[in-house]
Chains A and B, each alone.
Chain A
């Protein structure tokens, strides 16, 4: 499912003295089946954009196309349920949305709201609890008895259970330990590849964006200012600095290395693995020459 934002603007508290224009001239095209990252400094408007992606907020300027549905500024929309079923959002600290008596019921909450029969919802829950890496026995427990990391996985399973075509992630790893971070990101990456889900990651972690995204949009001061593949976006450190962002650590490392040895590597490496391979290659070449 393609999502396209065209000239989108949004003002909070419109037509009151507290009116605040949070977004203007936002243009983002998210292609079906891609892993798209939206990055930006704190207060750049990325969370506001996120809420437009399944019509929790409606634009006050411009228009948004979500699959078949087009949401135009100023027009009343009645049935947004279909859109919300297709675009699942994993909010920041999603564990705060848990409320049911058991994990099973909580995972079933979403799908049953969208008219999935109880039996099928339960079947999905049993399957998904393993996908997110938790033992099935946890289904009968109260979500409030779990650890923070487990609660987050349950909440993620609750969103996945709606069987969305697009998953929007808002800082999904905030507050997790390094290992938990990696596991959660790997989980989404796996879902992206195995189920061909379109992923939209809203983050300020340049590392995650570099490692997982196919395309990146940079937000600055309520506006979408830069689009491209990670290599394109991260090749210009000065431009990023103007948007109050840094290139990923691994690229900083590569630049320093290149300056030190006085030689350029063949490609811009986005992950540690890539860089290790490049350096290995370099070492081999050097050895062969001498």
Chain B
């Protein structure tokens, strides 16, 4: 069950996208999320889709992983699509069955929204698929550094995030183990009537919490023993390097943004 989780997984590689600086990727994705909402007509959406598939191609990530990343938001996508199809009015009336009326504008908006979802999920998935969690936190920490001046504990937040990410696989393993141990004792969260399954959560959660707390304590001790004293004056083993590659990506982004804005104003 656990091994099927693909969302948020890092797949090592050496493509153009893999080699980019995490800061560049983060800026790119963040800005991209905004720019997606600029698109409001067919050519703009075509440009977005073409661009997204271009990134997919450049990152050399297999489509399989991206489609899998789509699964968790699929229900939301279908729901918003249907909402638009049935309730947005405007344009020509396409179908009328009883009280159900489907308008051209509704269909168009539904498709647009779905494309928006698709593009956003693909691009954010590519970020997590091509960047190791550690690089993401490193990048985030550097980008948020200016906030230190207004007393935001950036280093601590980044550390918390990287520890959390580090322990996800460990906790998943642990969950699997405890789940199996309790299944062997006749309590099963994966099958049976819903009432039984809810009851079976307690024997799973308590041991999991106990071990998580123990782990946290051990980790704190281990960090202290090795002289951890917070972020002040701490140097880095992994240096972030902004290269020509990253500048190219930024330029590509500006061009895309320009195209989308142009299409919005003049199309």
Contacts and interface: CB of A to CB of B under 8 A. Distances in A.
B207 A91 contact: no
B68 to A, nearest CB: 8
Contacts of B184: 54, 56, 84, 88-89, 91, 159
B207 A109 contact: no
Interface string A16-27: 111000000000
A162 B65 CA distance: 43
A123 interface: no
Interface stretch (B33-41, B95-103, B174-182, B244-252): B174-182
B152 interface: no
A125 to B, nearest CB: 13
Contacts of B181: 89, 91, 94, 96-97
Contacts of B187: 109, 113
A154 B6 CA distance: 38
Contacts of A94: 181
Interface string B180-215: 111111110000000000000011001100110000
B62 A17 contact: yes
Contacts of B182: 97
A109 B3 contact: no
A19 to B, nearest CB: 9
A56 B186 CA distance: 11
A51 interface: yes
Given A94-B181, A97-B207, A16 B186 contact: no
B3 A13 contact: yes
A114 interface: yes
Interface in A105-124: 109-110, 113-114
B198 to A, nearest CB: 14
B237 interface: no
Contacts of A17: 62, 64-65
B186 A81 contact: yes
A94 B186 CA distance: 15
A113 B180 contact: no
A159 B182 CA distance: 10
B149 interface: no
B4 interface: yes
Contacts of B177: 91, 96
Nearest to B1: A13
A86 B6 CA distance: 36
Nearest to A15: B4
A56 B65 CA distance: 28
Interface residues of A, number: 27
A159 B62 CA distance: 45
Contacts of A16: 3-4, 6
A110 B183 CA distance: 9
A253 interface: no
B159 to A, nearest CB: 27
A158 interface: yes
A98 interface: yes
B207 A13 contact: no
Nearest to B210: A144
Nearest to A113: B186
Contacts of A110: 185-186
Interface string B1-45: 001101000000000000000000000000000000000000000
Contacts of A85: 186
Contacts of A84: 183-184, 186
Nearest to A85: B186
A16 to B, nearest CB: 7
Contact of A99 (B4, B180, B203): B203
Interface string A152-178: 000000110010000000000000000
Interface in A61-112: 81, 84-85, 88-89, 91, 94, 96-99, 109-110
A86 B210 CA distance: 29
Contacts of B6: 16
Interface string B43-64: 0000000000000000000101
Nearest to B200: A113
A166 to B, nearest CB: 12
A97 B191 CA distance: 19
Nearest to B6: A16
B183 A99 contact: no
Interface of B: 3-4, 6, 62, 64-65, 177-178, 180-187, 202-203, 206-207, 210-211
Given A56-B180, A91-B181, A113-B187, 16 more contacts: A51-B180, A56-B183, A56-B184, A84-B184, A85-B186, A88-B184, A89-B184, A91-B177, A91-B184, A96-B211, A97-B182, A99-B206, A99-B210, A113-B185, A144-B210, A162-B186
Of all A-B residue pairs in the complex, the 6 with the closest CB atoms, nearest first, are A113-B186, A99-B206, A13-B3, A97-B181, A110-B185, A89-B184
21 contacts: A12-B3, A13-B3, A16-B6, A17-B62, A17-B65, A18-B3, A56-B180, A84-B184, A89-B184, A91-B177, A91-B184, A96-B178, A96-B181, A97-B178, A97-B207, A109-B185, A109-B203, A113-B185, A144-B210, A158-B185, A159-B184
